[in-house]
Amino acid sequence: MNDAALLQLSNGAAATDTTSVQAMFELLDARVRVISASVGLLRQWSILYAGFRTRPGPADVTVVVSSPGDAEQPIPGEAAVIAGEVVRPWTGSEPLFPPLWVPPLDHWLCLRGTAVGRAGQAVLLLSDSSADRTLLAVAMVARGAWLLADELVPVDPDDLLVAPFPKSLRLDREALRLLGIDLADPALVPFRTTDREIEWRAEPDALVGARSSRVAADAGAVVFLEPHDRTEQPRLVPLPPREALTRLCGELHRVPTGFQTGMDALVRLCSRTPAYSFACGSPGRSARVLDEALLV
Amino acid sequence: MVEVWEAPRCLTVVGRESEAAPEALRMDRALTRRPAVDRRLDGDRVLIDVTGKAMYVLNPTAWTIWQLCDGRHSADQIVRELVRRYQVEEAAVGSECLAVLRALEAAELVVEVDR
C-alpha cells in the first residue's frame, strides 16, 4: 500500500471499504483510529485496550494494517502509522499498537510497571515480571487503593503526573486464587497462552469497579520490585536518587524522542520522589507493607 | 577550607548509541569539556549528552574533575590540583582521577586540545 493510498484510507475513504474493519481509541490525550484488514488483530487490540475505546471522530493518529486474515501479530512492512501528513511505515522495531513512537504519543515517558494510588498520590511498582507486579497491585486494590495503570505507566514529563492507563489485566490461576476471585467471575475472559496454559484477561473497570481510576495522580513513590521468596517477610529499602535514576532508565519502555526533556523529567522525578527497593513476600503481606508505608 | 575527598565516580545511566573506542589518555595535553546539560541530583550532578543520547551521574569529586577540564589543565595538572585541594597523597588520587578522565573521554564528554 503506497503513501497516497494510506492517506486516503485515513481520510475516511475506508468507509466504503468492505475488506477492512475499524475502531477508535483514546490513548493519553490522543485519538487513534485503527483501520485493519486483519480482523483478528483488531479483535485482540479491542480486548486488550477495551478501556480506551471511544466514539468515532477525527483522529490524531491512524494505524493502518494492510495484512489480511485473522493473524494476531502484525507483520513488519504491512502496516503504517499516519500522524498528520506523515506516513511512517512500521518496521517492527517497536510495538505497532499503541503507537507510542509517533507524535503526540511520543511526548510521554512510559515505564514498564503498574501504578496504584490513594488520595491523588500514586505508587509506581516497577519490574520486568508483569505477573508479580499485577498480583501485588490487585492485592493493594483489595485493601482500598485505586488501580491507575498496568503494564505501562505513562508519566507526563512536564508536570510528572502519572496518567491512567487502564489496559486489561492479565491474571493466572494462582493470582485469582490468592485474590479470592472466582474463576466464573463475569469480569474474567479466559485465553490460552503460547505455553498452552490458561490465563484470564479482565478489564480493570469490570474487575475492580470504581477502584479503577481515570484521574491522573502525582508520583508519590517509586518502588522497584525484586524477585523474592514469597514465604519470607517483605522488605522495603530506600534507594539513593542516583541508583533510582539508573534503575528508572532501565525500566523505560523506550528512550524518549525528546531526549533532553525526557531525561530532565527523570532527574526531577528522582530528586523529589522517594524511591525504594522492595523484596516481595506473599501478595497480601506485601500489599499491607506498601499500603501502610507509602499510601496511608 | 579543605574539601572532603571521596573516590570520584562517573556512573553511566544511559550509554551512547555508539561508544567510540577511547585512545590512550595523554597526560600532558590539555583537556576540555564538550557541551552537555548538567542538573543537580541530591549531592551528585547529572550530565545529559543530548547529541550522544547518553546520561551520566558524577559524584562531587568527579564533578570537580569535570570542571577542571577547562582547556587549560592536562591530566597531570588535574591530579596535582586535586592533591592541593583535598590535601591527599598523589598516590591515593592519581589512578582514580585517571579512571574518571578515561571514562569521560570514552563518553566523548572530554577531549584533548592544543593549548
Q: For residue range A206-245, what is the model confidence (pLDDT) as tens digits?
A: 988 888 999 999 999 999 999 877 788 899 999 999 999 9
Distance from C-alpha of A192 to C-alpha of A201, rounded to nearest angstrom: 10
User: Given this model, what pLDDT does residue B4 score?
Assistant: 84
Of the ranges A6-15, A96-105, A277-286, the best mean pLDDT one: A96-105
Among A3, A149, A152, A135, which Cα is nearest to A66's?
Answer: A3
Residue A1 scores a pLDDT above 70: no
Q: Is residue B34, in this structure, part of any structural domain at all?
A: yes
Last residue of a domain, one of A52, A81, A106: A106
Q: Is residue B113, in this structure, part of any structural domain at all?
A: no
Mean pLDDT over B1-12 rounds to 87
Domain that residue A138 falls in: 108-295
User: Given this model, what pLDDT does residue A180 score?
Assistant: 85
Number of domains chain A contains: 2
Write down the mean pLDDT value for chain B: 90
Q: Is B112 strand, coil or helix? A: strand
A48-89 tens-digit pLDDT: 999 999 999 999 999 999 988 777 788 999 999 999 889 999
Q: Do A63 and A130 sit in the same domain of this protein? A: no
Residue A7 scores a pLDDT above 60: no
H/E run at residue B95: helix B90-106
**ipTM metric:** 0.88
User: Given this model, what pLDDT does residue A72 score?
Assistant: 76
B98-108 tens-digit pLDDT: 999 999 999 99
Residue with the bigger pLDDT between A108 and B21: it is A108
Residue A185 scores a pLDDT above 70: yes
CB contacts of B41 in chain A (<8 Å) are: 241-242, 245, 267, 270-271
We report the CATH number of the domain holding residue B66 as 3.90.930
We report the CATH number of the domain holding residue A171 as 3.40.50
Residue A4 scores a pLDDT above 60: no
Q: How far is B114 from chain A (nearest CA, A)?
A: 30
Compare all CA atoms of chain A with the CA of B36 and give the residue at the minimum distance. A260
Of A129-133, B3-7, B21-25, give the lowest mean pLDDT range: B21-25
- With beta carbons less than 8 A apart as the criterion, state whether A77 and A99 touch: no
Q: Do A120 and A178 sit in the same domain of this protein? A: yes
Contact B57 A242 (CB under 8 A): yes
Residues 70-109, chain B, touching A (beta carbon < 8 A): none
User: Given this model, what pLDDT does residue A163 score?
Assistant: 97
Q: Is residue B114, in this structure, part of any structural domain at all?
A: no
Domain that residue B60 falls in: 10-18+27-108
B36-48 tens-digit pLDDT: 999 999 999 999 9
Residue A172 scores a pLDDT above 80: yes
Identity of the residue in A245, A259, A264 whose CB atom sits nearest the CB atom of B53: A259
Instruction: Supply A280's cell numbers.
Output: 516481595
Q: Do A136 and A257 sit in the same domain of this protein? A: yes
The pLDDT-based confidence of A199 (bands split at 50, 70, 90) is very high
User: Given this model, what pLDDT does residue B56 score?
Assistant: 96
User: Given this model, what pLDDT does residue B23 score?
Assistant: 66
Give which of A267, A268, A270 to mutate to test B binding, by max B Cβ within 10 Å: A267
Mean pLDDT over A102-108 rounds to 95
Residue with the bigger pLDDT between A176 and A231: it is A176
pTM, rounded to two decimals:
0.89
Residue with the bigger pLDDT between A175 and A221: it is A221
Last residue of a domain, one of A106, A127, A160: A106
User: Given this model, what pLDDT does residue A208 score?
Assistant: 87
User: Given this model, what pLDDT does residue A38 score?
Assistant: 92
CB contacts of B36 in chain A (<8 Å) are: none
Distance from C-alpha of A76 to C-alpha of A95, rounded to nearest angstrom: 10
CB contacts of A271 in chain B (<8 Å) are: 40-42
Residue B20 scores a pLDDT above 80: no
Q: How far is B38 from chain A (nearest CA, A)?
A: 9
Distance from C-alpha of A74 to C-alpha of A93, rounded to nearest angstrom: 12
- With beta carbons less than 8 A apart as the criterion, state whether B69 and B104 touch: yes
Of the ranges A61-65, A201-205, B89-93, B111-115, the best mean pLDDT one: A61-65
| Single-letter code of the amino acid located at A62 | T
The pLDDT-based confidence of B19 (bands split at 50, 70, 90) is low
Q: Do A44 and A131 sit in the same domain of this protein? A: no
Give which of B14, B44, B49, B56 to mutate to test A binding, by max A Cβ within 10 Å: B14
Q: How far is B52 from chain A (nearest CA, A)?
A: 10
A154-171 tens-digit pLDDT: 999 999 999 999 999 999
Residue B9 scores a pLDDT above 80: yes
Q: Do A165 and A57 sit in the same domain of this protein? A: no
Identity of the residue in A240, A249, A255 whose CB atom sits nearest the CB atom of B42: A240
Number of domains chain B contains: 1
Residue B1 scores a pLDDT above 60: yes
Residue A14 scores a pLDDT above 80: no
A134-161 tens-digit pLDDT: 989 989 998 999 999 999 999 999 999 9
Q: Do A218 and A191 sit in the same domain of this protein? A: yes
